[in-house]
A and B are shown apart, each in its own frame.
Chain A
Amino acid sequence: MPALVRMDRTGAGWRGTFSAMAGPCEVLLDTDDSLLAHTLAQLACAEARRIEAKFSRYRDDSVLHAIHAAAGAPMRVDDETAGLLDLAAACWELSGGRFDVTSGVLRRAWTFDGGTRVPADAEVEALRVLVGWEKLTWRRPELVLPAGMELDLGGLGKEYAVDRVVTLLREEARVPVLVNFGGDLHASGPRRDGAPWRVGVEDPGREDRAARVIDLAGGALATSGDARRYVMSGGERLGHILDPRTGRPVRGAPRSVTVAADACVQAGVLATTAMLHGPGAEAFLQAEAGRWWVTR
């Protein structure tokens, strides 16, 4: 399928935009070479689409579909999938069970559309039986996922794609790039003139304008937040980050957490784990992250 990338000339280089990963994606390229910019943007789009297709929950030709279809039978996975599973395992262990890629099934009970529908306890408990990394067996390269359980790599997939695209573009040309998939982004280095990229981060309360402008000379930024997906319950705004240990949204979680790190996957895991700490988000970030911003 041809990759449809729209190219625009910007003040300092080129921008390629396309949609993937259920959202707008852009690649900023600090070069005046239009042919090179087009080539790099196409590469970025192709890689994003490839990862999306491979790890999508919805496509029946994706690896995840094959894993779910195995219904409890052992499955051998390829190196790339194995790498992501290793990372998922590490995140689950390090976060004390908060970060759990098997918690996807809980979305069947919760619809975060801004409404007030809150699932009954029984409904949540029924699904919790199917949640828990400890319930599967992962011994590289073989995965045994019990029937009924699901893997949701949404929490890692987008950040992984951002990092992968930066890797590819770096190998292809020495052009400073900033890859931004819906707010999860990674800059390969400072711009040609030595200045940092200036990145605006959305304020969850005011989606029309950037609240913070962050200088990024290199490295990644990921944001975890409830800007658009939430449910109102008893006057309280419950974010869409579900705590796998309780099956319910994390209480006292910040509205938004943005973290800067050396890679997007790292930034994303730190941001999500911080949210999962609820009221303890700032303390967690203070101990673990270099630059971070929290909005409550």
Chain B
Amino acid sequence: MTRRLLLGAALLAVIALTGCASMGVEPWERDLLARPAMALNDDPIALALDEHIYFSKEASTGGLGFGGGGCGCN
């Protein structure tokens, strides 16, 4: 059941995005988006350190991107 829920959510998200072909801005309207604070990953080092901490304390990892490989954290 959760598998189907998951797939459904993902499909919904993709459809929602592809359906809105008119979204977006002209190149000269990207002033705010160009600010470092609006980057999708504005602090990769902090993110990698946090992922490492949560990896060693919880059972879920990933989904965000690739920072590196595994470790033998207990």
Give residues in A with beta carbon < 8 Å to B: 11-12, 193-196, 198, 200, 210, 213, 215
Contact = CB atoms under 8 A, between A and B. Distances in A.
Contacts, number: 24
B35 interface: yes
Nearest to B33: A195
A196 B34 contact: yes
A11 B32 CA distance: 11
A interface secondary structure, majority: loop
A227 B27 CA distance: 23
Q: Which size bracket describes the interface of B in this complex? A: under 10
A198 B27 CA distance: 9
Nearest to A193: B35
B36 interface: yes
B7 to A, nearest CB: 38
Contact of B35 (A11, A194, A213): A194
A200 B34 contact: no
A198 B35 contact: no
Nearest to A11: B31
Contacts of B28: 198, 200, 210, 213
Contacts of B31: 11-12, 195, 198
Contacts of B57: none
A215 B34 CA distance: 9
B30 interface: yes
Leading 3 A-B pairs by shortest Cβ distance: A213-B27, A195-B34, A194-B36
Contacts of B35: 193-195
A40 B36 CA distance: 27
6 contacts: A195-B31, A198-B27, A198-B31, A213-B28, A213-B30, A215-B34
Most chain B CB within a 10 A radius of its CB, from A195, A198, A215: A195
A215 B30 CA distance: 10
Interface string B16-58: 0000000000011011001111000000000000000000000
A193 B35 CA distance: 7
**Which of A11, A12, A193, A200 has the most chain B CB within a 10 Å cutoff?**
A193
A217 B35 CA distance: 11
A201 to B, nearest CB: 11
Contacts of A194: 35-37
Given A193-B37, A194-B36, A195-B34, 13 more contacts: A11-B31, A12-B31, A193-B35, A194-B35, A194-B37, A195-B31, A195-B35, A196-B34, A198-B27, A198-B28, A200-B28, A213-B27, A213-B30
A195 B36 contact: yes
Nearest to A212: B27
Nearest to B32: A195
Contacts of A196: 34
Contacts of B27: 198, 213
B29 to A, nearest CB: 9
